[in-house]
Chain A
Amino acid sequence: GAVVSQHPSWVICKSGTSVKIECRSLDFQATTMFWYRQFPKQSLMLMATSNEGSKATYEQGVEKDKFLINHASLTLSTLTVTSAHPEDSSFYICSARPDLYEQYFGPGTRLTVT
């Protein structure tokens, strides 16, 4: 149980385009999902907290107009990187929370912007 999927697992896009990443909780409902960014050989940096039916809460320094988060249902949250640039290339990981302090992580999405 407690499986979280992400789609796509790897995406390459051209600079200036937008990319959408999906995060799904497959066997539980999650009112809260988290989005992280991880640079090579570095730790996870929390980008935002996604709450079903309400606006996401962004961490300081994260551009909310660039990283659009939509948590439309109890099993799906999406992260859209708008007008992507090479510096947005990174590993994006989501987690879903069935209960307080019970985060289950997706396998991650590697974004490469050319």
Chain B
Amino acid sequence: AQSVTQPDIHITVSEGASLELRCNYSYGATPYLFWYVQSPGQGLQLLLKYFSGDTLVQGIKGFEAEFKRSQSSFNLRKPSVHWSDAAEYFCAVGAPDEGTDKLIFGTGTRLQVFP
């Protein structure tokens, strides 16, 4: 079965600084990969997804992520963080070879942004 790990529980950055959130997955084949953002008390919003093709994926709100098969990673990046980016970020993995499109979520990374 697939699994996903987000090593950083909490990250703090200054507004305007660059950001990288780490995500590592475990799956025998090429997984489907997702990044979601959750504001307090809210549901999840999809930032971007990777199914196949170009390993650098552009998403909404200026985010991008790069799929690196050799490292089993799908790290999320943003060149300049805004205060409104403060939220919880979840990486999720799907297993297209298993006949189901359910997602397994990582434990999340909480992002704090200081002015």
Contacts and interface: CB of A to CB of B under 8 A. Distances in A.
Nearest to A44: B105
Contacts of B101: 32, 97, 100-101, 103
Give the secondary structure class of A's interface: strand
Nearest to A36: B105
A105 B108 contact: no
Interface stretch (B17-25, B43-51, B61-69, B71-79): B43-51
Contacts of A104: 46
A101 B94 contact: yes
A43 B43 contact: no
Contact of B41 (A42, A100, A106, A108): A108
A93 interface: yes
Contacts of B110: 41
Nearest to B10: A41
Interface residues of A, number: 24
A19 interface: no
Contact of A108 (B32, B43, B100, B106): B43
B44 A49 contact: no
Given A97-B101, A101-B49, A101-B94, A42 B108 contact: yes
B90 interface: yes
Interface centre among B45, B94, B105, B106 (most CB of A within 10 A): B105
A16 B97 CA distance: 42
Interface of A: 4, 6, 32, 34, 41-46, 49, 91, 93, 95, 97, 100-101, 103-108, 110
Given A4-B43, A6-B43, A45-B105, 9 more contacts: A34-B103, A41-B110, A43-B108, A91-B41, A93-B43, A97-B101, A103-B46, A105-B43, A105-B45
Top 6 nearest A-B pairs (CB, nearest first) are: A105-B43, A105-B44, A107-B43, A43-B107, A44-B105, A43-B105
